[in-house]
Amino acid sequence: MNLLSVAFIFHILIDRTLPLTEVSAELSKVWGPGLAPDKIIMPARYFFIQVVNAANNNITTPLTEPFQVVIDGATKTKKPCRLWTAMLDRRDGSYIVRYKMYEPCVYMKISVVHENKHVAQSPYIINNVVYPEDCMCPKKNFNEVTSSWDCGLVPSEITKRLNVFNKIHWDEYRDKLIKTFDRPHAVSLCHYVVKNNEIYRKCYGKYVGFNMFMDNILLSLARKVELPDLEFFVNLGDWPLSLYNLPEKFPILSWCVSTDSYDIVMPTYDITESTLENMGRVMLDMLSVQGNVEASWEDRIPKLFWRGRDSNRHRLNLIQISRKYPELFNVSLTNFFFYRDEEHIYGPKSDYVSFFNFFDYKYQLAIDGTVAPYRMPYLLAGGSLVFKPESKYLEHFYSDLIPNVHYIPVKEDLSDLVDKLKWAIDNDDAAKEIAKAGQKFANQYLLPKNIFCYHMQLFDELSKRVVSTVTVGEGMEHVAQTKIQKCDCDDRIKDEL
């Protein structure tokens, strides 16, 4: 074979590999609720970009030449809309674009460009009025709103928990519920009424500050849609209240439920707040955690990483196990409260580690504290492999998680954790696939749009079961809208341009 033939073959090989890394603007994908900002109103809108090559395969490494994303629009007075846009690089060939609006826009354009070429169907033109989060412009038809948000079927956990209470007659439940849980130093709960899209409440207990989380999600929803008239009770504590061993069952909304309780589960206050404060005062949310992970799977340290306080005896067991297998673990306690007299055994306390740095490690542990580990959604989103001990405590999405598909189950006492961890190390490709499936689950079911949808569907389904007349009770406080700006809610204002 002569030199010319070798050069020709080498040229062909290069041509065949070029499409593997060369971005196809036309085939790359752009999707997400942020492309329909006139229909889906959130504190921060967001959408996704997936880089695709000319062979229509996903590119899985970061780009050297990033996308240019420009989101602009016009107000009623023909001034540029005030917007804040930020891009998060997931370092796997995909990107998250977030933007926050500060005033209504009567026109918007979203442009996604790579090397002077529009990506996918860019530019995306919105010729309807787009409202920021703080406009009080509720739609009248509840079903149309959940449909336009593409909320999908009612989550099975809502249906399952509500089916226990076929009909809810609060005139029969109300006084008995308040009397049963009249333990001010141990129980904190709030009685809510939604009437004519206004929020009212009366709280019981010494520590009721967490009512702000329920207040804020109700107020946010009331700005988007006219809520059904509704009466309900919210548990402000960690532990579920309506336990099987009580003489009567009560329909109480709780952030965490259990296999031995009748409580009706809703998203935790933690993920609800991160939804409402996205691009706000909360640093950790389901989107930012994905854009602040530095290491790819291959570059992550093959150890199990964990930090947390001593709120469960099994967490102390974890420290014991890790000392026998230091090559497998980087775990320590950050604070001692429940077992202060054992700090000399299980200490010393470790320094603070940024949650984003957890994902320098391949393996994470979602172990119960006082109840379910509220960090579970963020652990899934971070792309490491999550190990989860068995537990009677449940968050709103647990029933949809599949063991050994989305996470690795381990025994409550952690007795099989070392063996499961060794399996993951020896079967790296399988472990990576489970980690990816867990992250995909988080992106399908636990992002801000999903949290809003769950609340809307929960309140709608609950209202269908309340048969008593909804009235504002004596001594109830009006929870007023405080985060609103003056907005013209008539979509026809665009016609004035």
The secondary structure of residue 322, as a DSSP letter, is H
Q: Tokens for 14? A: 């290069």
Parse the chain into domains and list their residue ranges.
8-136, 156-275+449-480, 288-446
Q: How far is 370 from 106, CA to CA, in rounded Å?
A: 48
Residues 156-207 pLDDT 10s: 999 999 999 989 999 999 999 999 999 999 999 999 999 999 999 999 999 9
Q: How far is 182 from 171, CA to CA, in rounded Å?
A: 18
pLDDT at residue 20, rounded to an integer: 56
pLDDT at residue 496, rounded to an integer: 44
Q: How far is 34 from 12, CA to CA, in rounded Å?
A: 42
Could you give the percent of the chain with pLDDT greater than 90?
90
Q: How far is 73 from 129, CA to CA, in rounded Å?
A: 10
Q: Where does the pLDDT of residue 118 fall: very low under 50, low under 70, confident under 90, or very high at 90 and above?
A: very high
Q: Where does the pLDDT of residue 62 fall: very low under 50, low under 70, confident under 90, or very high at 90 and above?
A: confident
Q: Is the pLDDT of residue 147 over 80?
A: yes
Whether residue 348 is preceded by a cis peptide bond, meaning omega within 30 degrees of 0, is yes
- What would the mean pLDDT of 63-90 be, rounded to a whole number? 94
- What would the mean pLDDT of 65-70 be, rounded to a whole number? 90
Q: How far is 20 from 55, CA to CA, in rounded Å?
A: 7
Residues 135, 485: contact at Cβ < 8 Å?
yes
Superfamily of domain 288-446 in CATH is Glycogen Phosphorylase B; (3.40.50.2000)
Query: Domain 8-136 - what CATH class?
Result: mainly beta
Residues 241-293 pLDDT 10s: 999 999 999 999 999 999 999 999 999 999 999 999 999 888 899 999 999 99
User: Given this chain, do its domains 8-136 and 288-446 carry the same CATH topology?
Assistant: no
Residues 5-52 pLDDT 10s: 333 333 323 233 334 578 999 999 999 999 999 999 999 999 999 999
The span from the first CA to the last CA of the chain, in angstroms, equals: 71
pLDDT at residue 10, rounded to an integer: 31
The sign of the torsion formed by the CA atoms of 442, 444, 446, 448 equals positive
pLDDT at residue 3, rounded to an integer: 36
Measuring CA to CA, which residue among 237, 258, 250 is closest to residue 188?
237
pLDDT at residue 166, rounded to an integer: 87
- What would the mean pLDDT of 85-90 be, rounded to a whole number? 95
pTM for this model (two decimals): 0.93
Q: Where does the pLDDT of residue 65 fall: very low under 50, low under 70, confident under 90, or very high at 90 and above?
A: confident
CA 105 to chain CA centroid, Å, is: 27
The secondary structure of residue 496, as a DSSP letter, is G
Mean pLDDT of the chain: 93
Residues 339-394 pLDDT 10s: 999 999 999 999 999 999 999 999 999 999 999 999 999 999 999 999 999 999 99
Q: How far is 286 from 335, CA to CA, in rounded Å?
A: 25
Least confident interval from 57-66, 199-208, 258-267, 415-424: 57-66
